[in-house]
Amino acid sequence: MSDPERAPDGGRSADSVVTPADVEAAGDRIADVVHRTPLDRSTTFAELSGAASVGLKLENAQRTGSFKIRGAYNLMSQLPPETLERGVVASSAGNHAQGVALAGRLLGADATIVVPEVTPAAKIEATRGYGAEVVVEGDIYERSYERALELAEREGREFVHPFDDERIIAGQGTVALELLEQYPEVDTALVAVGGGGLISGIATVLKDRDPDVRVIGVQPEGAFHAKPSLEGDEIHELSEVDTAAEGIADTRLLERTFAVVRERVDDVVAVSDREMSVAVTLLAERAKTVAEAAGAAPLAALLSGAVDVEGEHVAVVVSGGNANLTGHAELVRTGLLELGRYAEVRLSVADWPTAVGRVADAVESRGAELDALERARRTRADDPNRTPVRLGIEGSGPDHLGDVLDALADVAGVEVVDRALADEPADATARSPD
């Protein structure tokens, strides 16, 4: 007689972890707490990718700035009063921290969150703002996770796992309940994967509605563990991660998420940090929305051609927008460089600072934006009778920036000594969207 808890090969079955009914129940449980986030259709991204349509599910507009409040509240609202009274412990790269902190405040439970050292300051301060205690410990998430487990055991408190818990997975799956109401024609859903909680919940709902809907996971090249897990049919753990997308910089799936992902997720693809920076940039410019690198990963997969979506209706889950402003600005600048729309230029000028006006006029007369103009650090190669100057210039593309640099070379007393243009614009986004 077959065991419903086990897959045919003896591993745990997806249905033993989470079912569509579990997600429906979670939806009822969290309805008065979470926002119903918008679905923004993007003609620009459809044209750039060849899709019939693209729907951006904007979980960056959720309470706490990401989808994580869904799972955290679903789990914590089911804890007995005496457990809540003792308080909870969690580990997080930042977004789960805020979800647990807010859920704790709403339910009257003290929360302690252990975060790795790479966690952006904005996420730490926001977590503290919801009333949680934050402990910064560990060079990567796994070390923070181990420390949080130690704290929970020592103090007799409930550990709220960021992804490998059926109540967390069910809560995250409520994203798909809204998605199907807002975008019922969806053919393919692109979802970021860290530990796999979000994609497990979303795939559970979408595959139940229509088994032919594709659910594709997206991970950074520097944290690409899910695909090897699927190919090897066992959990593959990375020894280290290296990515700007700290929100999905996990080293592995775990038992529950692996069980669901291997049965219900069609594929997992990788994107580079540079491709994510392009996606962050275009989300800000075209969709008028702020996304962190992890939240932009699915759009990066769409625009880079990592997934063939020709003629399809594609849902892109923008899972979070908790970015430091300086970090976001750096990602945008990298994205513009990748698009061939930003140049960093070193000049050698005579008659500083009166030459500044001539330089600014030359840039602006060609319709470009002067992002930075400052004295550069002098090197031994610089002429001692001239001033080294660093410029940052934004334009519409490589040809436009080339015209600006030619104009600068014609300015009296100015010599262009180095022009750091991107070698080639990113293929899928070389065209300027209109």
Q: Is the model's pLDDT at 434 over the cut of 60?
A: no
Q: Is the model's pLDDT at 140 over the cut of 90?
A: no
CA 401, CA 137: separation in Å to the nearest integer? 44
Helix ranges restricted to H, 156-292? 166-182, 197-209, 226-232, 255-264, 273-286
Residue predicted with more confidence, 431 or 87? 87
Q: Is the model's pLDDT at 116 over the cut of 80?
A: yes
CA 256, CA 164: separation in Å to the nearest integer? 6
CB neighbours of 370 closer than 8 A, spacing ≥ 6? 360, 363, 364, 391, 392, 393
* Active site (annotated) includes residue 365: no
Assign 2 a pLDDT band (cuts: 50, 70, 90): very low
The pLDDT, as a whole number, for residue 11 is 74
Measured between alpha carbons, how far is residue 413 from residues 255, 351, 367 in Å?
66, 7, 22
| CATH architecture for the domain at 340-422 | 2-Layer Sandwich (3.30)
The pLDDT, as a whole number, for residue 429 is 44
CA 181, CA 297: separation in Å to the nearest integer? 24
pLDDT in tens, 410-420: 998 999 988 76
The pLDDT, as a whole number, for residue 403 is 93
* Active site (annotated) includes residue 227: no
The pLDDT, as a whole number, for residue 419 is 72
Q: Pick the catalytic residue: 66, 229, 272, 319?
A: 319
pLDDT in tens, 43-53: 999 999 999 99
Give the 3-state secondary structure percentages of the chain, helix then strand then coil, rounded to 5: 45, 20, 35
| Range(s) of the chain covered by CATH 3.30.70.260 | 340-422
pLDDT in tens, 28-40: 999 999 999 999 9
CB neighbours of 136 closer than 8 A, spacing ≥ 6? 114, 115, 116, 117, 119, 124
The candidate with the shortest Cα–Cα distance to 428, out of 42, 24, 50, is: 50
As a whole number, mean pLDDT of residues 227-239 equals 96
pLDDT in tens, 52-78: 999 999 999 999 999 999 999 999 999
CA 205, CA 23: separation in Å to the nearest integer? 8
| Range(s) of the chain covered by CATH 3.40.50.1100 | 20-66+168-334, 68-159
Question: Is residue 118 within 8 Å of residue 175, measured between CB atoms?
Answer: no
The pLDDT, as a whole number, for residue 123 is 85
Q: Is the model's pLDDT at 425 over the cut of 70?
A: no
The pLDDT, as a whole number, for residue 5 is 62
Assign 424 a pLDDT band (cuts: 50, 70, 90): very low
Q: Is the model's pLDDT at 349 over the cut of 90?
A: yes
* Low-confidence winner among 185-199, 378-392, 404-418, 420-434 (lowest mean pLDDT): 420-434
Q: Pick the catalytic residue: 42, 53, 57, 68?
A: 68
- Enter the DSSP assignment of 377: P
Q: Is the model's pLDDT at 428 over the cut of 60?
A: no
Helix ranges restricted to H, 237-380? 255-264, 273-286, 293-304, 325-338, 355-365
CA 360, CA 391: separation in Å to the nearest integer? 10
Residue predicted with more confidence, 417 or 106? 106
Give the up-direction half-sphere exposure of residue 115: CA atoms within 13 A in the CB hemisphere: 30
Pick the CATH number of 68-159 from 3.40.50.10470, 3.40.50.1100, 3.40.1170.10, 2.60.40.10: 3.40.50.1100
| CATH architecture for the domain at 20-66+168-334 | 3-Layer(aba) Sandwich (3.40)
